[in-house]
A = this chain, B = another copy of it.
Amino acid sequence: MAKKRTKKQNKKSGLAPGSVIYTGDKSDKNLFIEVFDYNKEQCIEKELHSIEEAFDFKLTDCVSWININGLNHVDSIEKLGNHFSLHPLVIEDLVSISQRPKIDEYEDYLFVVLKMLHLDAEEKLNYEQVSFILGPNYVLSFQESEGDVFGSVRERIRQGKGRVRTMQSDYLLYILMDAIVDEYFSVIETLGDKIEDLEADIFEGTIDESATKNIQELKKEVLKVRRSIFPLREVINRIEKHESDLIQQRTKTYYRDIYDHLIQVTENIDIYREMIWSLMDMYMTTISNKMNEVMKVLTIMASIFIPLTFIAGIYGMNFEYIPELHYKYSYFILWGVMIVLFIAMLIYFKRRKWL
């Protein structure tokens, strides 16, 4: 048995609660911080070189989006967290990358964790944890490493397209989350395609024993995606019902829209799940059908030739007195009998639809 123990969670086991430890495996990433600070009139975009530079944006009149990449830089994140007066458990959760999507409501900020799913070049699925802190006029976002699905958001802020520059930080959080949820659609579509491909392969029989493995892999993938997305519905629901100035009434309609999208995504996931479960049954009937084919060939060959061989065996006996042996046309008559038998057999199997 191949033992490949992965004790990721255990990194923290036995430590005091509130210990700020990075639990991921991307420990060599650089710290990359970018800031967008904008209002209706202007927009400043800046790359920061140290975490301290970010502190000032807490108090500007504009809406600030501070995007921190590189959760392995625990010290910087702790400093930032303390400056923004985050609860110790929040700072701990920011760098603990196996969180479940959740929302924690504090007095003057919201803490949201979710999973960013995206496909890499080889159509492999990547899971990255993204955390948001929504304050009165800022949004902090935390990612494990550079590279995200926020390209279009940046563009819109820069160019002042749409409503973003005229709205508050709650709308900024909305378009960031919307970008992530939009990406879910591509992800589950790719899953759907994989299932249909596998299904087609099973129907056409162009599949070997690896089918079981592929089905099982797909099953696990769907379960994992499901687990990453399902809890988010509750998160959005809580945002919609949140009662404080952080989330304005007019923005809630937009969160409702994300919620509708999530319902669509999760419904699709559940349908895929049901379809995968039936793939195994389908594969099983395919195997049985094949075995039936094999058995028919065997049965037909054996049923035809075993009796004929018996007849030949009869006249191979060495008894002294076998009258037929001496009759001149015996051999030819026998051939006739055997051919008739052969054809009768064929007709019989034809009738039973085995041929």
Knowing A199-B216, A271-B223 are in contact, say whether A189-B14 is a contact too (CB < 8 A): no
A277 CB to nearest B CB, Å = 8
A209 interface residue, CB < 8 Å from B? Answer: yes
Nearest-CB residue, chain B, relative to A328: B321
Is A47's beta carbon under 8 Å from chain B?
no
Q: Determine the interface band of chain A, counting residues with CB < 8 A from chain B.
A: 35 or more
Q: Name the residue of chain B whose CB is nearest to the CB of A326.
A: B320
Across the interface, A305 reaches (CB within 8 A) one of B257, B286, B307, namely B307
Tell me whether B185 and A13 are in contact (CB under 8 A): yes
Give CA–CA (A264, B162) in the complex, Å. 38
Report if A288-B285 is in contact (Cβ < 8 Å); known contacts: A14-B151, A326-B320.
no
Residues of B within 8 A of A104 (CB): 256
Q: Which of A290-329 contact B (CB under 8 A)?
A: 290-292, 294-299, 301-303, 305-310, 312-322, 324-326, 328-329
Determine if A3 is an interface residue (Cβ-Cβ < 8 Å). Answer: yes
Segment 3-33 of A: residues with Cβ below 8 Å from B:
3-10, 12-19
- Given known pairs A185-B10, A312-B317, the reply for A301 and B301 (CB within 8 Å) is no
Question: In the complex, A297 Cα to B304 Cα: how many Å?
Answer: 11
The answer to whether A284 touches B288, judged by C-beta atoms less than 8 angstroms apart, is yes
A267 within 8 A of B: yes
Please report the C-alpha to C-alpha distance between residue A278 and residue B23 in the assembled complex, in whole angstroms: 31
Number of copies of this chain that the complex holds: 5
Residues of B within 8 Å of A256, CB to CB, are: 104
A237 within 8 Å of B by Cβ?
no
**B-chain residues with CB within 8 Å of residue A346 when the two chains form the complex:** none
Q: How far, in angstroms, from A189 to B11 measured CA to CA in the complex?
A: 13
Pick from B200, B277, B294, B324: contact of A295, CB below 8 A. B294
A199-B216, A291-B288 given as contacts; is B317 within 8 A of A331 (CB)? yes
- Contact present for A325 and B316 (CB under 8 Å): no
Instruction: Provide the residues of chain B in CB contact with A307, threshold 8 Å.
Output: 301, 305
Binding stretch for chain B, among A52-60, A136-144, A176-184: A176-184
Q: Does A197 contact B (CB under 8 A)?
A: yes
Distance of A303 Cα from B257 Cα, bound (Å): 65
Check A2–B200 contact: CB distance below 8 A.
yes
Q: Does A166 interact with chain B (Cβ within 8 Å)?
A: no
The 8 Å CB contact of A316, one of B12, B182, B317, is: B317
With most chain B CB atoms within 10 A of its CB, the pick from A284, A310, A354 is: A310
> Chain A, 98-112, contact with B by CB distance < 8 Å: what is the 0/1 string?
111010100000000
Taking the closest CB of chain B, its distance from the CB of A179, in whole angstroms, is 7
Distance in angstroms between the alpha carbons of A17 and B199 in the assembled complex:
35
Which residue of B9, B260, B292, B325 contacts A291 across the interface (Cβ within 8 Å)?
Answer: B292
Chain B residues near A16 (CB, 8 Å)? 152, 156, 161-164, 175
The contact sample of 14 A-B pairs, CB cut-off 8 A, is A10-B185, A14-B152, A98-B264, A199-B216, A212-B289, A285-B287, A294-B354, A295-B298, A298-B299, A301-B307, A302-B306, A305-B309, A309-B310, A318-B322
Q: Could you list 7 further interchain pairs (A-B, Cβ under 8 angstroms) beyond the known A9-B185, A17-B254, A100-B264? A: A284-B285, A288-B288, A291-B291, A297-B299, A309-B310, A317-B331, A320-B328
